[in-house]
Structure formats: structure tokens, C-alpha cells
Chain A
Amino acid sequence: GESVGLHLPTLSVQEGDNSIINCAYSNSASDYFIWYKQESGKGPQFIIDIRSNMDKRQGQRVTVLLNKTVKHLSLQIAATQPGDSAVYFCAENKNFGNEKLTFGTGTRLTIIP
């Protein structure tokens, strides 16, 4: 069945350093991937997305890398700040669709001051 998983459930990074959060997916038909950030007591917040015809996309302080060969997705956060502390989820779907987004289990990122 379809599944999206994360390599590490927790990650601690020194403030100012870069962080990398990884995600593995199993559905080779997935062509759309999204990263969400969820802070305590809040709903998931869209960070960045990428389509399968790309292998890299950059946003403000964030970069998503997609390796379709090994079905791996990563989120890089540059110059981490305390406000980056949250749980990060990857999600995947087909046809650039929003329907039935499949979410990973999440990685808790803690920024150490």
C-alpha cells in the first residue's frame, strides 16, 4: 500500500546551523510532494511543494530535494531559528492533486539556542 515515512522521528539542531529532514515514499506513482510544518497546538502549515518533474525547489530559507530513483525527499532549512522548532511532515499525492494527501509520521525538529 501507499506509505510515506520518515527516517528520523526527532532532530536537534543548533540555532544558526542548517537542518535536513528526510522522507521516504513508497508509491512510485506519486508526482506531487509537499512539506508541512506543524507547531504545537496549531494546524499544519504549508512550507513548500515540488512536482516530480523537478529535483530541486527553493523557497525562503528552505530547499526541497527530490530523488525519484530512490524515492526520497528532503527538506533543508538554512540558518535555523528558534521559530523553526516544530514537527515537519512530508505528504505526497498524484496528479498535482490535493485529494487524499498521504502524510508521513512527522519529524520533530528542535532548535537549540
Chain B
Amino acid sequence: DSGVTQTPKHLITATGQRVTLRCSPRSGDLSVYWYQQSLDQGLQFLIQYYNGEERAKGNILERFSAQQFPDLHSELNLSSLELGDSALYFCASSARPSGNTIYFGEGSWLTVV
């Protein structure tokens, strides 16, 4: 158990809908990362937050957004969902924004039908 908690574990939704994925980082970790894992793209970095502020951005679609709240939990919002958004979405956390190990959660499996 990495200490990173993600909910929900599985989610099935229709195209065009919006979903929110939630992440609680390890106790004491200030930095949160979101990754997408699909069969054809592998693990892709989406976005990173540190202590509530956006720190780095990857290949995150405009239909996707994220935020980190004062209690350090983070949410990834996916809107206008398309079939191609079906993937595993991982949250990870680390104590600092760089220079130390990042720990991944178990992932949220999103299926868009």
C-alpha cells in the first residue's frame, strides 16, 4: 500500500458526460501528480500540483482540469468524455515537487461507453 488513495476504483460513463476523480496523497506529501495510462499511449504525465498551486503541465487535454485543495487532496475533472478517454488514471504524490520518490495510487479505471 503506497498510502495514496484514489476513488472511485472503477467508473463507467457515457460519452459527453463529466466525471471527477479524487486523490488523497500520502500523509505529509505536498505534491500531487496525475497520470493517464492507456494501452496505446502508455503512462502519460498530465499535471502536477504542489501545495495547491499548479507546478507542471503535460499532455493534458483542455477538456480535463485538476485542482489541489487546502487539505492537499486533488481532483481531476474530465468533461465531454470521448471513447478515447477510457483509461487508467493514476494519482501519485511526493513530499516535495522534485528530488524524491513519487508514490502511485492504485488508479481509477474509467470506461467511456
Residues in A lying within 8 Å of B, measured CB to CB: 36, 41-46, 49, 89, 91, 95-106
Contact = CB atoms under 8 A, between A and B. Distances in A.
Given A97-B98, A99-B48, A99-B97, A43 B43 contact: no
B107 interface: yes
B103 A46 contact: yes
A96 B103 CA distance: 15
Majority SS at the chain A contact face: loop
Given A98-B31, A98-B94, A99-B55, A46 B4 contact: no
A76 B52 CA distance: 38
Nearest to B55: A99
A99 B49 CA distance: 10
Interface in B29-56: 31, 33, 42-45, 48, 55-56
6 contacts: A96-B98, A96-B99, A98-B100, A99-B55, A101-B45, A101-B102
